[in-house]
Amino acid sequence: MGMYPEYMVAPIREDLTSAGFEQLMTPEEVDQVLSEQEGTVLVAVNSVCGCAAAKARPALKMAVSSSEKRPDKLVTVFAGMEGEAVAKAREHMLPYPPSSPSIALFKNGELVHMIERYHIEGNDLIRIVDNLKGAFEDYC
């Protein structure tokens, strides 16, 4: 059971799933996707906070839709809801501390780029988009 009622988070989930992100609900799903040894995976740790709504989700959608290169898979976990899935994703994101929202790019099963909450809160939307597009260019 999550911290928030599902009716409240459903539209927040849909903000990313309607843009092509797959919602991972269990630690097993997270491990399966993030342990793949070929290709790139973008992981969005979604949340109900204002910086997720104003910056993280819009930046993710803009970067993915406007980049020539993009990750092979787009996935998301929801902080405060599927705690075990989020914890498993965060294990893969070590040594970075838990952060939500946050965005991680994996290539061939290894973390290659990380955007933590303070990178999101302290930046404008276009800088976050440019950061993501640069990472896509470098790793995808």
Could you list the active site residues?
Answer: 49, 51
Name every residue whose Cβ is closer than 8 Å to that of residue 27 and which is 6 or more positions away in sequence.
84, 85, 87, 88
Number of neighbours of residue 18 by Cβ within 10 angstroms: 10
- Residue 21 φ/ψ, nearest 5 degrees: -85, 135
∠ CA 54-31-43, rounded to 5° = 20
**Burial category of 35 from C-beta neighbours within 10 Å (exposed 0-12, middle 13-18, buried 19 and up):** exposed
Tell me the C-alpha distance between 77 and 115, whole Å.
Answer: 15
